[in-house]
Amino acid sequence: MSVVPEANANTPCAMNEATKIEVEQVLRLAGTELHALLEHRAALVRRLSTLRRTISGLAEMFGNDVLTEDLQALVNPMQKTRGAGLTEACRSIVSNSLLPLTAREIADRIRANYPAVIQNHKDPVASVTSILQRLGSYGEAKTRISRSGRRLWEPVGDPRPYQSK
């Protein structure tokens, strides 16, 4: 009588060669599709950011009266959503900024525009920095180092040249 060890979540399944080849093929296909979808998401985020900046720029030039309520809510989601949180505030500030900003500048703008979102954070700049890094991993923001050595954040796909601070 042979004893078969009991499988658990920490023990990988034993595979024969054919199964191993099939699993590798599925993983390869899934990885390829995941990569393509992530690239597509990054392209969509870049396009959304460009459109939001275009609309914001036109509203700045001609006044907010040119925007419908629906368009204002799409351009600045924080007006539409109460208590949307610090992540949405960071996303809004970065995507609507005309220049790359430091985490401290972003925290200051959040404090000025959405004080309730940031008031209970012990270290707002650290919280903002963590969120910016996450937005970077999502492909929604990118970072550069200025000539003075400070990290600057900007929307992905921003075609405008920037002046270092």
For position 48, what pLDDT does the model report?
84
pLDDT value at position 162?
A: 46
Please state the φ and ψ torsions of residue 142, each to the nearest 5 degrees: -135, 165
Q: What is the pLDDT of residue 15?
A: 81
pTM of the entire structure?
A: 0.54
pLDDT score of 157 = 66
pLDDT of residue 84: 60
CA dist 83 and 63 (Å) reads 26
Token pair 């979540």 is found at: 9
The candidate with the shortest Cα–Cα distance to 139, out of 32, 44, 55, 53, is 44
Rounded to whole angstroms, the Cα distance separating 34 from 62 reads: 42
* Segments of the chain with pLDDT less than 70: 1-12, 77-84, 157-165
Query: Which residue type, as a one-letter code, is found at position 41?
Result: R
Query: Residue 165 carries which side chain, given as an amino acid letter?
Result: K
Instruction: Output the CATH code of domain 41-155.
Output: 1.10.10.10
The pLDDT assigned to 164 comes to 45
pLDDT at 160: 47
